[in-house]
A = this chain, B = another copy of it.
């Protein structure tokens, strides 16, 4: 019984995440989420009494963890931070291609559509970006960069990855991500 319950909740979160990523917040309805998750509307409201905002916030936390996992894997590929960043852009490029350019950042659309209008969602978005920056910052610190430089560079690394992922989706090409990897490596190189 425990397993089934957990399974349903997770299916709902994954379905929400996928729908938000591909059609945005405004375009996604609870009924569609329940259909995609193969869950009754009753069970969706059982797990998420706060409705669509609560669901979206949870989907964003799910996306936060997914991207954090990819960042950790990439950054762990090399002790050299510049090489480690290019490992991240390679992993991102592979994942995007595998999804036929559909599954980019899981939170961008929702974040943009709810600016100033949904505090629960905004908090989850702010926390996700802070988490990703912290992972990169830790890597840069560990490789010897000063605290201010590491913090600032980490912010630009995350923002640039976001923009490059969007460009890769639009161009249906891995090239914007590979190029970004080379430029970020070059920028990081100027700090050593």
Contact = CB atoms under 8 A, between A and B. Distances in A.
A1 interface: no
Count of chain copies: 2
Interface stretch (A36-44, A66-74, A149-157): A149-157
A155 B171 CA distance: 12
Given A24-B109, A109-B112, A155 B176 contact: yes
Nearest to A160: B160
Given A24-B112, A26-B27, A190-B186, A164 B167 contact: no
Interface size class of A (residues with CB under 8 A): 35 or more
B163 A113 contact: no
B176 A159 contact: yes
A148 to B, nearest CB: 11
A158 B180 CA distance: 11
A168 B187 CA distance: 21
Interface stretch (A78-86, A122-130, A136-144): A122-130
Nearest to A162: B163
A104 B170 CA distance: 18
